[in-house]
């Protein structure tokens, strides 16, 4: 019997060095974020979660405003005027 993975132009089960490096970096950054936020919550209490939510809301609102202005004033490269 042939294995289903070897038949035809299906999915390949291989990862490049670049992909493995990105997975490793994502795991390291994610672990640091979870440990860092856990330490902050332990030290300052649940108010840290509210500050994270407020920061996320402000970032989301700013991103929406940038997109709205960039769409309204559609010059080429207009977004770089903000930076």
Pair 70, 78: CB distance under 8 Å: yes
pLDDT of the chain along its 83 residues, tens only? Answer: 445 555 567 777 788 899 999 999 999 988 888 888 888 888 888 888 899 899 999 999 888 877 776 666 666 665 566 66
CA 47 to chain CA centroid, Å, is: 23
The Cα 15–Cα 11 span in angstroms is 12
Q: What is the pTM of this model?
A: 0.46
- Measuring CA to CA, which residue among 58, 51, 16 is closest to residue 37? 51
């Amino acid at each position: 019997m042939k294995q289903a993975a070897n038949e035809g132009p299906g999915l390949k089960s291989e990862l490049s060095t670049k992909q493995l490096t990105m997975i490793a970096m994502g795991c390291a950054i994610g672990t640091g974020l979870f440990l860092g936020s856990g330490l902050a919550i332990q030290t300052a209490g649940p108010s840290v979660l509210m500050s994270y939510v407020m920061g996320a809301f402000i970032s989301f609102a700013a991103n929406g405003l940038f997109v709205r202005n960039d769409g309204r004033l559609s010059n080429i490269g207009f977004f770089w005027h903000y930076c």
